[in-house]
């Protein structure tokens, strides 16, 4: 899946924060504080679509964009890719588990006790 650049991440965050697919104009408005050109946002959305991270559907003359996967799915995939970089996942998992908060450790414990 690969890591997102800063601008790609901002665009994805704007999409993940929405309940429904958004037009380029809507995403551009969400990122107005960045001072981006409309065409820059359109280009980023097109590239994210080409990478398979965003899906789009026609709505009249415009496209509506939505994340192809939930934010949690994307983050989990990044974590799995990072784990794949090591020959022995055990030590990396232990190091990770020792670095999380008590609440996060409890969430991990619950997930391990009740796998899908």
Nearest in space to 2 (alpha carbons), one of 96, 86, 74: 74
Q: Directed axis angle between helix 6-16 and helix 38-50, to 10°?
A: 80
Using 50, 70 and 90 to split pLDDT, how confident is the model at 1?
Answer: low
**pTM above 0.85?**
no
Nearest in space to 65 (alpha carbons), one of 51, 47, 41, 45: 45
Interval 82-110 mean pLDDT: 90
Residue 64 tokens, joined: 């509506």
Q: pLDDT tens, 42-94?
A: 999 999 999 999 999 999 999 999 999 999 999 999 999 989 898 889 999 89
């Amino acid at each position: 899946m690969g890591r997102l650049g800063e601008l790609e991440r901002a665009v994805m965050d704007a999409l993940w924060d929405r309940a429904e697919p958004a037009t380029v104009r809507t995403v551009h408005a969400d990122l107005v504080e960045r001072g981006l050109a409309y065409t820059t946002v359109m280009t980023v959305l097109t590239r994210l679509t080409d990478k398979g991270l965003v899906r789009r559907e026609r709505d009249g003359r415009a496209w509506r964009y939505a994340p192809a996967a939930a934010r949690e799915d994307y983050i989990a995939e990044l974590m799995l890719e990072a784990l794949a970089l090591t020959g022995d996942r055990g030590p990396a998992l232990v190091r990770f588990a020792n670095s999380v908060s008590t609440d996060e450790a409890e969430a991990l414990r619950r997930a391990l006790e009740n796998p899908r």
